[in-house]
Structures are given as structure tokens and as C-alpha cells.
Structure 1
Amino acid sequence: MVCRMFRIEAEVDKARHDLLRSRLRDTDTAASPVLAALRGTPGGRERPLHVWASRETGDFVGGLAGHTWATWLHVTYLWVDGRHRGSGLGSRLLAEAERIARADHGCRHARLDTWDFQAPDFYRKQGYQVVSVIPGYPPGITEYTLTKRLG
């Protein structure tokens, strides 16, 4: 059955994006006992987690941005200036984020996505394991999802 009573639009709209996310979370929470049990607990709400590195001069040289939710640390971005790669700074940023996630946010696991030309080997050295490989995402590149149990 085709319903012509709806207008379909394709536009970026932060307010509707946030409403969509909220409604989806409400629907998911109602359908899942696990998510329902999380609601109202400290781990049941998403919390940002950021770790920054700068030189004594204040120059930004690296950082990690992510969030915690449901006992998981989600690493969204980790970047180190090329002049400081290989110095251990990336490992320190990641370790500090994991420490904060465990100690302050009650996380037991971490997850992240990376591409084949970025840092899958770096993350493996930090104790992460590949749980998903998507070849050709985007074309010519492979995406990896990795997870780690936080001790």
C-alpha cells in the first residue's frame, strides 16, 4: 500500500537527528530487558571521554575522543602529530582513556574502528583483537573493528 500522506526530505537537521536518536533509544530500551536495566544507571547514559596531549608551549600534538556507554569505551578518534609518532604518545593517550573508562566510568570493554592504512597493528599491540573486517569500505580500503577487555 502506498501512502501519499508523508513528505520525504533529505536534509541535515540536528534537531531531528537528536529526536530520531532519542526515539530509537526509547524503542530499543522498551524492547530489551538489558537496555531497560541500564537506563537510570551511571553506565546507562553516554558520557564523553577526551584525552589531550600538548607541548609545554601549548601546541596540540595529539588526542583521543570517544565516549563511554553500557560498560564500554568507544574510541572514535585517536591522532598523534607525525613528528611525535613512534614516541609512545599514542599508547599513552589510549592507556589513559582506558584507565579513566575503567576507574571513573565503570567500563569493562573498549571498541574502535580503524582502516588498514591507519593503525590496526598499533591497536593489536595494545591488546585489541579484530572482531570484524569489512573489505572495500570505502573502495580499495579495509575497515577493522577491534575490541579489548579492560582488566
Structure 2
Amino acid sequence: MTSDHATGPVLTVGERDAELNRRLDEGLTAFNAAATGVAEQGTLSVKVTDEAGELIGGLAAWTWGGLCGIGMLWVREDARKDGWGGRILRAAEEEARRRGCDRVAVSSFTFQAPGFYRRHGYTETGRTLGIPGGHEDVHFFKSLTDG
């Protein structure tokens, strides 16, 4: 979709745009730092590979202002009963502590792993309704200063 005026602003809609994401991140980072006085931020990852170098599982997160936000945690199906999820999560929590974080936030759809996070000391803080198939997005929080 574009503007009716050749010289006016142009609105476009499409697939993921890496350059747009970079610019939005820069803009939001500057806005957030100005609003909170907290500028330091980072990304965090944990990866497990097998002997052949194939991915067993991993985690992607961010850190900012003492908070670690887990975006994704996944373990390959044939390795899910081997305890890798817990080891990956504990490694991320330890790295978050090392970086000065004292809390973690994550969400998991009801068909994914809310029980996993509860077993690892996470407390449910809310739910987002309307996930396809009648599911919900369960939001969790954990203090890294407790025990």
C-alpha cells in the first residue's frame, strides 16, 4: 500500500525487513534509555550440539536493566527426556546472574511447556487469550535472588 501523493510519505506492508528491525531496535533502545536511565542491554544464547555438530537445543534471550527476557527455548524431540531443557535454562539463568540480572521473564503457549517453567521455579503472572486452537500464552517470572 502506498500514499496517494507521489511526494508524501509512503506506507509499505510486507515480510520481515532486517533493516527495518535494526532501525526500530535502535530507536526503541534510545527511547527506553532516555525514559529509564538504563542504557546497557545485551543478547544471550545457550546452544547444545551433538557429536556430529547437529543442534540438540538452545535458548535465545536478551538482558536489560537487571531483567533477562527469554525469547525462545527449544530442544530437539529425541533429546527432550535427557534433561537438556533444564540444563539450558539453568545455564542461561547463571549467565544472566553473571551479567547482573536478578530476574527472568518468559512466556510459553499452553501447548508448549508451562509445566516445565513451573517446575523450574517460575511463577505465572498472567495469560494472553486467543491463541489458535483455544490455547493461551502463559507469562512467567522468576527472581534470581531467591535460593
TM-score, scaled to structure 1: 0.81
Aligned to 1:56: 51
Among 89, 93, 108, which residue is 1:94 paired with? 89
Aligned to 1:129: 123
Deviation at 1:61, TM superposition (A): 1.1
* Matched residue count: 139
Rate the CA distance shift 1:25–1:100 in 2: closer, same or farther, 3 A. closer
Partners of 2:24 and 2:47 in 1: CA distance: 31
After superposition, give the CA deviation of every residue in 1:105-151 in whole Å (9 maximum; x if it has no partner). Answer: 11111111110010001100000011111121245221111110012
Aligned to 1:65: 60
Partners of 2:17 and 2:79 in 1: CA distance: 38
After superposition, give the CA deviation of every residue in 1:78-116 in whole Å (9 maximum; x if it has no partner). Answer: 11122221221110100001001101x111111111100
Partners of 2:136 and 2:12 in 1: CA distance: 32
Report the 3-state secondary structure (helix = DSSP H, G, I; strand = E; otherwise coil) of the residue aligned with 2:134.
coil
Aligned to 1:112: 106
Aligned to 2:10: 7
Sequence identity percentage = 30
Report the more deviating stretch, 122-131 or 7-16.
7-16
TM-score, scaled to structure 2: 0.83
Among 136, 141, 147, which residue is 2:141 paired with? 147
Partners of 2:26 and 2:19 in 1: CA distance: 11
Aligned to 2:21: 17
Report the 3-state secondary structure (helix = DSSP H, G, I; strand = E; otherwise coil) of the residue aligned with 2:92.
helix
Partners of 2:10 and 2:111 in 1: CA distance: 42
Report the 3-state secondary structure (helix = DSSP H, G, I; strand = E; otherwise coil) of the residue aligned with 1:136.
strand
Query: Deviation above 6 Å: which 4+ runs of structure 1?
Result: none
Deviation at 1:72, TM superposition (A): 1.1
Gaps of 5+ in 2: none
Report the 3-state secondary structure (helix = DSSP H, G, I; strand = E; otherwise coil) of the residue aligned with 2:106.
strand
Gaps of 5+ in 1: none
Report the more deviating stretch, 76-85 or 52-61.
52-61
Say what the alpha-carbon RMSD is for the aligned residues: 2.0
